[in-house]
Structure 1
């Protein structure tokens, strides 16, 4: 699995690099894109989804904000909470990159017949479920909103 993930990342890196992104930055943009019509999540929500610390997410957000792909917005009800939201430029870029990503994914999946694709999907779903629900966390939950 690690070798496949590494090969996949190697295929995507040149495209991302042309747009000044890393795989981790791209993942943040994709996660925000999938977060509903507001394209916004809190720093803590993103950190939990990416299994990184709050400081790790802040570093990622800093880079994306410098590139004008996201903006930080304070929560209206609790100023300690920071929301990260895609800018129009960020939304356009992630949509462009996702089109290429999906095309690469389709080419890879085309090497499998329909039954193999269904089996792979089922197996990967089972593995993801197992990892998400095994009771062990890779990164301890840390609040990013300044509340104790």
Structure 2
């Protein structure tokens, strides 16, 4: 058995990871998961590429962009901690916005006006947004009146 026979073809890597070959080629272009060798122009991957693809898939699932993943896998420990801290802050902000949206939707379901477009608070929020207030500020303003 030659060294390249021990390597995985792109199809084998796709089969082991569930990631389509087209996506694996894109990961290669981005430098996220590189083949160990090329044989006849075909990518050949070390067995460790299964784990590398797993890392990319996991980081995508928790909200990292491919650019952030590239920095994460290539970075130093401090850089990784910084990326994690930024992602945590981003998720906290997103969670806050989701909570405000949930509250607004719950109000819409139980609004005494029975129809959101006839609700004074709805229009107060819209007016606040038009005036440049954030969703949160507009929502607070609507509930003060």
TM-score over 0.5 for the pair = no
After TM superposition, the score normalised by the length of structure 1 is 0.23
Indicate the structure with greater helix content.
2
Q: Which has the higher contact order (CA 8 A, sep 6+)?
A: 1
Give TM-score scaled by structure 2 length: 0.23
